[in-house]
């Protein structure tokens, strides 16, 4: 391990001085924002504040070595870094504290994220990529500690892929793979599994990432001895240090108050990572947290007087300032003047941001007061309407909620009355809500013309000579076509490379396309997904394999916190069109169930969830997704790889539409909706029902998120007037979601002659073996009997009781 503490003497003194004063300006500016920002929370103007105080100096060093095309994947302490690169102004930071919903004013998330979550824009207004090599990039932060780590791995890996794959067009994404992915993480968060998993994977993959650990010896109130063995994370990581005989990391430890040592540490790390693609950890120690963790409480509660005194003396800005004066770079008076100006600048920024935040609300308030005034004049409820109006007048600094509440409550007092003024108020409320809701709800999925749900169906073509083959062969040959057609596709996962996945869906493809494009990974689901997210953020088209559906839970945090929220939390300014491939449905055993769809569809809103019944449908989904740019999870049917299907002629071309159901059997008596492998059992039961005169219509939901956007199930229920949803998830799981979609959203309740029902698996995880499956999940007899019971209730004469 290197301990760095050299002094820079490579540039002229004037340049050196100018650089230092510029850095001091940013450090002081950032600190002033932190101090004033916290006050905004304490006075109630902002809801929550978390700032970068105490961590300013190392971030200036990181910013100095950060180049165009580089990416940051960090956490909430990094405001100084963002300011140093011109990616964040004090005014924008105040806008983020207030949650201004205008993306121009609050470019981090248009008010969706708390302050301290940093983002740059990767996409143009029309959704197309910006030139990421011409700007400095920050992937969108999330609040979850260490959640930034898995994606960091992928951001770094993208450089490696762009450097090694000559065939790839890297325009706008990379210049020969010379970009570094810079990670930041707090000392306490290095205890998270995600951190350690990422460190190991980064060492194996040898990718250009520089991870800074901001070590202030605390995680909120909890001191290092509870977080870190031996209280020293770089000591722990020393086993990852590279040496002559093996790859690994370069580890650097540096004091967070030592300006020149920091500059050198970052220059060294940058050279090594950028040129040689060696990952580096910089452990920045002796940092402080002058205002305590966040606006939620003060640190005097948990730090000793001794520690508090030490922090005061060793505050990195204070020591930087002392060093500037001692080294005769600037005098005390010069610095005082500089500081005075900065304080004024920040106060102005704060004031302007608050007034801009309020201005549209105040305009609305004015209009609304006039409308309430007019509506009151001839109303029988004049007194009440005037009270609402006066209450609104009394709110000096209204938020949108105040406007919505008063106007909507006022309408209740106009019930039964008829006037132009009432109409005007009604119209205002509707317009206000229609305009405001998207500020909080847009961009969960793509809203651009190339969104996945706009990709049209292209049917698989068959000719007379079409052969029946194992389903996995269709998938394999389709992946072959796709790898050939899209050089930016990379497929990776456990056993995906050499053996071509555990079910041979990628057989022979590593040989054909090389070890970069079709690769094996370690057993580490979280960072497999992180690799995918990071690479997708940089223009590649990763297909990340999770070997079996039940093991996706190891990666669930990264999927739900990071991938699913990405487009939403960045207000549509970043995208990661990652495809996750896995297999499941009707497996046997507690950890091989293949069934837990309910959990997934609820926590993964923002990702499409597709459950193809066979390999042709699955291949069609891959083809569809690659024409678009949205993330999706595809769950192939494990027990379908060896079932025979006709081989289509147009591999790589045919497209299974997303959000469109398939009717597999026509019927008149009842609509049966199911998906995945359970569908085959439903089809079997439907045949047996036919034998007793019950004609069931069988519909494959096929895509769960989104479900049936053309409302075809409704058309079926209008015909059959009965509905049964069947799946292998727990009671109240995915089947309840499908039921809500059909009965409530599509309005099928109007056409039902029998109570709509669900038939799901038992509440426990499924038992092992064929009998375990039979008694855990709906079987053909269960389905037959449930349908028969519905018919018996409706028409006992023709369908007498079975048992
Ligand atoms: C997964 C997760 N667990 C808990 C939290 C709550 N939390 C927020 S910050 C924090 C402490 C982090 O300490 P450290 O990593 O040392 O960073 P510092 O704030 O000291 O810079 C905790 C526990 C969280 N945001 N995410
Ligand atoms: Mg800490």
Most informative mutation of 117, 220, 225 for ligand 1 (most atoms within 8 A of CB): 220
pLDDT at 7: 47
592 catalytic residue (yes or no): yes
Helical H runs in 627-757?
Answer: 678-691, 712-720, 734-739
Return the ligand number nearest the Cα of 292. 1
Residue 2, pLDDT > 60, answer no
The one-character DSSP state at 133 is: G
* Residue 101 in contact with ligand 1 by CB distance below 6 A: no
Q: How far is the CA of 419 from the centre of ligand 2 (A)?
A: 61
Determine contact, residues 741/747, Cβ cutoff 8 Å: no
Q: Hey, what are 122's tokens?
A: 């990767």
Pairing of strands 218-219, 222-223: antiparallel
- Alpha-carbon gap, residue 42 to 296, rounded angstroms: 9
Q: Quick one: CA torsion of 230, 231, 234, 236, rounded to 10 degrees?
A: 30
Query: Which residue, among 308, 330, 653, has the nearest Cα to 478 in the 3D structure?
Result: 653
pLDDT at 66: 98
* Residue 77 in contact with ligand 1 by CB distance below 6 A: yes
Query: Which residue, among 144, 113, 155, 127, has the nearest Cα to 568 in the 3D structure?
Result: 113
SS3 content of the chain, % helix, strand, coil (to 5): 45, 15, 40
Return the ligand number nearest the Cα of 192. 1
* Residue 517 in contact with ligand 1 by CB distance below 6 A: no
Ligand 1 atom closest to the Cα of residue 50 is 19
Residue 1, pLDDT > 90, answer no
- Percentage, residues of the chain above pLDDT 90: 95
Number of helices (H), then strands (E), belonging to the chain: the values are: 26, 23
Q: How far is the CA of 153 from the centre of ligand 2 (A)?
A: 22
* Residue 145 in contact with ligand 1 by CB distance below 6 A: yes
* Residue 299 in contact with ligand 1 by CB distance below 6 A: no
Mean pLDDT of the chain: 96
Bridge partners of 723? 671
Residue 747 Cα distances to 705, 717, 743, angstroms: 19, 10, 5
Q: How far is the CA of 715 from the centre of ligand 1 (A)?
A: 51
* Residue 216 in contact with ligand 1 by CB distance below 6 A: yes
Residue 9, pLDDT > 60, answer no
Residue 96, pLDDT > 70, answer yes
Ligand 1 atom closest to the Cα of residue 188 is 16
- Helix or strand (DSSP H, E) at 704: strand 703-705
pLDDT band at 166 (very low <50, low <70, confident <90, very high): confident
Q: What is the pLDDT of residues 706-723, one digit of tens each?
A: 999 999 999 999 999 999
Return the ligand number nearest the Cα of 221. 1
- Alpha-carbon gap, residue 499 to 519, rounded angstroms: 10
Residue 5, pLDDT > 50, answer no
pLDDT at 566: 98
Pairing of strands 696-700, 662-665: antiparallel
Return the ligand number nearest the Cα of 285. 2
Q: Hey, what are 95's tokens?
A: 């806008």
pLDDT at 634: 98
Determine contact, residues 780/681, Cβ cutoff 8 Å: yes
> Which residues have C-beta within 8 Å of that of residue 175, sequence separation ≥ 6?
69, 133
pLDDT at 8: 47
Cβ < 5 A residues, ion ligand 2: 186-188, 216, 218
Return the ligand number nearest the Cα of 217. 2
- Alpha-carbon gap, residue 265 to 280, rounded angstroms: 10
> Which residues have C-beta within 8 Å of that of residue 172, sequence separation ≥ 6?
129, 130, 131, 132, 133, 539
Q: Hey, what are 659's tokens?
A: 């959000």
Q: How far is the CA of 233 from the centre of ligand 1 (A)?
A: 16
Determine contact, residues 131/539, Cβ cutoff 8 Å: no
Give the sign of the dihedral formed by CA 772, CA 774, CA 775, CA 777: positive
Ligand 1 atom closest to the Cα of residue 214 is 21
- Alpha-carbon gap, residue 95 to 109, rounded angstroms: 10
- Alpha-carbon gap, residue 108 to 87, rounded angstroms: 10
Residue 557, pLDDT > 80, answer yes
Phi, psi of 553 (to 5 degrees): -60, -30
Q: How far is the CA of 317 from the centre of ligand 2 (A)?
A: 17
* Residue 219 in contact with ligand 1 by CB distance below 6 A: yes
Q: Which of 227, 361, 384, 592 is catalytic?
A: 592
Neighbours of 335 (CB within 10 A): 17
* Residue 212 in contact with ligand 1 by CB distance below 6 A: no
Query: Which residue, among 111, 120, 171, 204, has the nearest Cα to 523 in the 3D structure?
Result: 204
Q: How far is CA 451 from the centre of its chain?
A: 17
Q: What is the pLDDT of residues 642-655, one digit of tens each?
A: 999 999 999 999 99
Angle, alpha carbons 27-33-39 (nearest 5°): 145
Residue 586, pLDDT > 90, answer no
Give the sign of the dihedral formed by CA 352, CA 354, CA 356, CA 362: negative
* Residue 143 in contact with ligand 1 by CB distance below 6 A: yes
pLDDT band at 10 (very low <50, low <70, confident <90, very high): low
Arithmetic mean of pLDDT, 762-782: 96
Q: How far is CA 639 from the centre of its chain?
A: 31
pLDDT at 585: 86
Arithmetic mean of pLDDT, 4-17: 68
Pairing of strands 632-637, 579-584: parallel
pLDDT at 6: 46
Q: What is the pLDDT of residues 655-703, one digit of tens each?
A: 999 999 999 999 999 999 999 999 999 999 999 999 999 999 999 999 9
Q: How far is the CA of 217 from the centre of ligand 2 (A)?
A: 5
Q: How far is CA 121 from the centre of its chain?
A: 15
Q: How far apart are the first and last CA of the chain?
A: 76
* Residue 214 in contact with ligand 1 by CB distance below 6 A: yes
Q: How far is the CA of 58 from the centre of ligand 2 (A)?
A: 14
Q: Hey, what are 58's tokens?
A: 């190392």
Q: What is the pLDDT of residues 395-443, one digit of tens each?
A: 999 999 999 999 999 999 999 999 999 999 999 999 999 999 999 999 9
Hey, whose CA ends up nearest to atom 8 of ligand 1? 145
The one-character DSSP state at 177 is: T
Residue 603, pLDDT > 90, answer yes
- Helix or strand (DSSP H, E) at 663: strand 662-665
Cis geometry, peptide bond prior to residue 706 (ω within 30 degrees of 0): yes
* Residue 149 in contact with ligand 1 by CB distance below 6 A: no
Hey, whose CA ends up nearest to atom 21 of ligand 1? 186
Q: How far is the CA of 47 from the centre of ligand 1 (A)?
A: 18
Across the chain, which distance is largest between two alpha carbons, in Å? 103
Arithmetic mean of pLDDT, 33-46: 95
Over the Cα atoms of the chain, what is R_g? 30
> Which residues have C-beta within 8 Å of that of residue 629, sequence separation ≥ 6?
127, 446, 450, 452, 575, 577
């Amino acid at each position: 391990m290197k301990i760095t503490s050299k002094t820079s003497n490579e540039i002229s003194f004037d340049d050196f001085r100018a650089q230092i004063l510029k850095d001091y300006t940013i450090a002081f500016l950032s600190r002033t924002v932190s101090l004033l920002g916290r006050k905004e929370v304490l006075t109630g103007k902002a809801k929550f504040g978390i700032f970068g105080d105490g961590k300013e100096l190392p971030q200036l060093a990181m910013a100095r070595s950060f180049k165009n095309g580089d990416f940051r994947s960090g956490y909430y302490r990094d405001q100084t870094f963002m300011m140093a690169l011109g990616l964040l102004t004090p005014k924008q930071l105040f806008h983020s504290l207030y949650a201004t919903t205008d993306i121009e004013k609050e470019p981090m998330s248009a008010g969706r994220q708390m302050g301290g979550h940093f983002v740059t824009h990767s996409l143009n207004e029309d959704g197309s990529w910006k030139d990421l090599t011409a700007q400095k990039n920050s992937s969108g932060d999330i609040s979850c500690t260490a959640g930034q780590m898995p994606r960091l791995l992928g951001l770094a890996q993208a450089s490696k892929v762009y450097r090694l794959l000559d065939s790839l067009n890297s325009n706008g994404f990379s210049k020969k793979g010379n970009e570094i992915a810079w990670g930041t993480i707090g000392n306490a968060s290095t205890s998270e599994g995600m951190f350690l998993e990422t460190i190991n994977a980064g060492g194996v993959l040898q990718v250009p990432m520089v991870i800074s650990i901001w070590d202030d010896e605390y995680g909120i109130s909890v001191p290092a001895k509870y977080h870190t063995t031996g209280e020293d994370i770089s000591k722990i990581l020393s086993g990852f240090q590279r040496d002559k005989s093996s790859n690994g990391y370069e580890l650097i430890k540096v004091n967070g108050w030592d300006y020149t040592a920091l500059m050198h540490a970052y220059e060294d790390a940058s050279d090594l990572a950028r040129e040689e693609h060696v990952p580096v950890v910089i452990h920045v120690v002796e940092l402080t947290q002058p205002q305590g963790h966040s606006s939620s409480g003060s640190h005097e509660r948990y730090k000793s007087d001794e520690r508090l005194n030490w922090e005061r003396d060793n505050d990195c800005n204070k020591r930087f300032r002392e060093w500037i004066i001692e080294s005769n770079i600037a005098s005390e008076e010069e610095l005082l003047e500089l500081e005075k100006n900065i304080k004024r600048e920040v106060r102005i920024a704060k004031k302007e941001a608050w007034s801009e935040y309020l201005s549209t609300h105040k305009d609305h308030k004015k209009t609304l007061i006039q409308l309430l005034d007019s509506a009151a004049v001839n109303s029988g409820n004049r007194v009440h309407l005037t009270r609402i109006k006066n209450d609104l007048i009394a709110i000096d600094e209204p938020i949108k909620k105040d406007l919505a509440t008063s106007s909507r409550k006022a309408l209740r007092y106009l019930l039964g009355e008829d006037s132009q003024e009432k109409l005007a108020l009604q119209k205002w409320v509707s317009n206000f809500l229609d305009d405001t809701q998207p500020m909080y709800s847009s961009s969960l999925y793509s809203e651009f013309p190339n969104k996945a749900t706009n990709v049209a169906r292209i049917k698989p073509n068959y000719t007379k000579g079409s052969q029946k083959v194992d389903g996995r062969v269709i998938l394999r040959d389709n992946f072959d076509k796709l790898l050939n057609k899209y050089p930016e596709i990379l497929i990776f996962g456990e056993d995906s490379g050499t053996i071509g996945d555990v079910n041979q869906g990628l057989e022979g493809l590593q040989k054909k396309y090389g070890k970069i494009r079709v690769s094996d990974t370690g057993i580490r689901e979280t960072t497999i997904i992180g690799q995918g997210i990071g690479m997708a953020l940089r223009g590649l088209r990763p297909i990340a394999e999770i070997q079996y559906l039940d093991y996706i839970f190891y990666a669930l945090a990264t999927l739900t916190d990071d991938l699913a929220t990405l487009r939403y939390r960045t207000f549509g300014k970043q995208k990661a069109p990652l495809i996750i491939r896995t297999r499941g449905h009707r497996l046997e055993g507690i950890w091989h169930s293949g069934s837990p769809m309910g959990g997934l569809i609820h926590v993964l809103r923002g990702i499409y969830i597709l459950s193809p019944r066979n390999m042709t449908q699955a291949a069609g989904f891959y083809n569809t997704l690659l024409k678009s740019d949205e993330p999706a999870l595809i769950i192939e049917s494990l027990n379908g790889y060896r079932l025979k299907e006709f081989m289509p002629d147009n591999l790589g071309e045919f497209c299974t539409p997303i959000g469109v159901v398939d009717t597999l059997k026509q019927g008149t008596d009842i609509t049966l909706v199911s998906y995945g492998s359970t569908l085959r059992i439903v089809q079997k039961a439907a045949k047996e029902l036919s034998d007793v005169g019950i004609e069931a219509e069988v519909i494959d939901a096929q895509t769960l998120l989104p479900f049936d956007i053309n409302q075809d199930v409704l058309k079926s229920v209008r015909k059959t007037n009965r509905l049964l949803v069947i799946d292998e998830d727990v009671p109240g799981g995915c089947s309840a979601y499908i039921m809500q979609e059909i009965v409530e959203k599509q309005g099928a309740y109007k056409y039902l002659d029998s109570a709509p029902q669900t038939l799901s698996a038992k509440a426990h995880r499924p038992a092992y073996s064929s009998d375990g499956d039979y008694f855990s999940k709906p079987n053909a007899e269960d389905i037959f009997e449930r349908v028969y019971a519905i018919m018996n209730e409706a028409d006992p004469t023709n369908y007498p009781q079975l048992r």
